[in-house]
Amino acid sequence: MARSTRARRRGIVAATATLLLFGLTPSAAAHPAGAPASGDAGVVRTWNEIAWHTIADMDKGAKPPPVAQLYLGLVSTAVYNAVVSIEGGFRPTLPQQRIRGDASSDVAAATAAHDVLASFFPASAAALDTEYATWLAGVPQGEARERGLRAGHEAAANLIASRENDGRDAPVTLDREANPAAGVWVPTASGEWTTAWLGFTKPILIHSTRRFAPSGPDPLDSPEYAADFDEVKLMGAATGSGRSEADTALALFWWDNPPRQYQDAMRDRSVRHGMDIVETARMFAAANASAADATITCWRAKYDFNYWRPETAIRQADRDGNPATTADPAWNSLRPAPPYPEYPSGHVCVSSGVAQALENLFGEGEVDMIIRSLTPEVTGATRPYRSEEAWLDDVTDARIFLGIHFRDAMDDGRAVGRAVADKVVDRWFSPSHRGGHR
């Protein structure tokens, strides 16, 4: 894969004073009694936020970010299928009856989201039922409501049926030798890998993860590996690093949960651009499904290559066979590495899946995302991005400055997300889409 950002240093993107509209919007509230149900994009935004809070509910076993991204992709796809079965313009990603005549795409969207979430998260079903019933009570009785209900239930049922025996939560483990060779991942302070099954899960919209698999990390004895090693050793160290204040601020900004950041930013984009219900549902489905399938591809590559983190590599450099690297047994990263193999980067697979999908939908330089961080050191800070490239350059550098990735893993993961998003958007979300099977 092309090493598109090696040795690149990006300055900090200036924080914007633009206020974000996060949370429930007035347009997402229940319809007043007696008001006609209409194609309101606020319903899609509201149920995207409900989906996030359901998936991330700490009291009911919050899903880790890569798994959360899978469920966001599933919910968003069902909502999209329900909406376009009524509004038209595009075809659903699963076989679905086209609704003719007056029908509420608002009701269809809310129903699809509710049904999928209640099925996948039964511990939250009661709360979801209350949310849904409260909203639906404001929608007038009539044929439009009934047709919307049918469309939403059908979209959800089709999505749920498509995920039977899909590999979620399967007992997949990564075997490790008692004395692993140089280059092999071993758990760091963050612990064991508990989500290895994700790499063996059925993708949402691509046919096979192997089609987009990266080529593998650089050989340990290569000059490219030595260059990446020296970079993260200097720039990612907890103490005595070569980072500037701006570099550290960038790293800490991106030490956050990317699926949450991107849901917030897409809801905000929908409001600021006055996107209608089809545009909004399409954006969430294309971005979240692309990111989910890129993550599944990434997780399979992590399993297959099983590559060590910089923390292990730097402490044990005397074992790598590369005369250009020097061990530092006391080296620590700025932040602890996540509990799974290093190559390729999961964060950039998610980020490039979302960013490339948005650029494909809206045009080059038009992603227009205002991203907010809730990392304690930078809580509330925002960074605006017009282009996919600037966005991913920052993500790439941030993970190196955190000390948890080599640049090779960032570049190759970036290529995975882009390739998956190109395929997903072209095949399923372009105006020329004619439906059919994967």
Q: What is the CATH number of the domain that holds 345?
A: 1.10.606.10
392, part of any domain: yes
Q: Is the per-residue pLDDT at 23 higher than 60?
A: no
Mean pLDDT score across all residues of the chain:
90
Q: Is the per-residue pLDDT at 29 higher than 50?
A: no
What whole-number distance in Å separates Cα of residue 275 and Cα of residue 96? 24
Same structural domain, 248 and 353: yes
Pick 14 or 294 by higher pLDDT.
294
Backbone torsions φ then ψ of 382, nearest 5 degrees: -125, 150
Same structural domain, 136 and 209: no
Instruction: State CA 64 to chain mean position distance.
Output: 11
Domain count, the chain: 2
User: Which of 60-64, 279-283, 303-307 has the least mean pLDDT?
Assistant: 60-64
Same structural domain, 374 and 243: yes
pLDDT of residue 438: 33
Q: Is the per-residue pLDDT at 73 higher than 90?
A: yes
Tokens 């998936």 correspond to: 55
Instruction: Grade residue 432 by pLDDT with cuts at 50, 70 and 90.
Output: low
pLDDT of residue 433: 54
Burial class (CB in 10 A: 0-12, 13-18, 19+), 364: exposed
pLDDT tens for 102-153 read 999 999 999 999 999 999 999 999 999 999 999 999 999 999 999 999 999 9
* Mean pLDDT calculated for residue range 4-32: 31
Residues in CB range of 341: below 8 A, 6 or more apart: 174, 185, 193, 302, 303, 305, 306, 307, 308, 309
110, part of any domain: yes
Same structural domain, 132 and 202: no
pLDDT tens for 350-400 read 999 999 999 999 999 999 999 999 999 998 999 999 999 999 999 999 999
395, part of any domain: yes
| Alpha-carbon separation of residue 53 from 57, 204, 253, 368 (angstroms) | 6, 21, 21, 24
Same structural domain, 127 and 58: yes
pLDDT of residue 36: 37
pLDDT of residue 38: 58
Same structural domain, 141 and 210: no
pLDDT of residue 39: 78
272, part of any domain: yes
Tokens 């409260």 correspond to: 134
Same structural domain, 213 and 157: no
Pick 239 or 437 by higher pLDDT.
239
pLDDT of residue 53: 96
Same structural domain, 295 and 424: yes
**Exposure letters 283-315 (e unless 16+ CB within 10 A, then b):** bbbbbbbbbbbbbbbbbbbbbbbbbbbbbbbbb
pLDDT tens for 6-18 read 333 333 222 222 2
22, part of any domain: no
With contact defined as beta carbons under 8 Å apart, do 249 and 378 qualify?
yes
Same structural domain, 93 and 207: no
CATH code assigned at 135: 1.20.144.10
Same structural domain, 267 and 377: yes
pLDDT of residue 249: 97
Q: Is the per-residue pLDDT at 24 higher than 90?
A: no
Domain extent, residue 256, equals 196-429
pLDDT of residue 189: 82
189, part of any domain: no
* Mean pLDDT calculated for residue range 21-35: 34
Detail the DSSP E strand segments found in 333-421. Answer: 369-372, 382-385
Same structural domain, 269 and 371: yes
Q: Is the per-residue pLDDT at 22 higher than 50?
A: no
Q: Is the per-residue pLDDT at 345 higher than 90?
A: yes
132, part of any domain: yes
With contact defined as beta carbons under 8 Å apart, do 186 and 320 qualify?
no
Domain end: 162, 180, 208, which one?
162
Q: Is the per-residue pLDDT at 101 higher than 90?
A: no
At 15, list the tokens. Answer: 């924080």
81, part of any domain: yes
Strand partners, 370: 384
Same structural domain, 158 and 273: no
Instruction: Grade residue 157 by pLDDT with cuts at 50, 70 and 90.
Output: very high
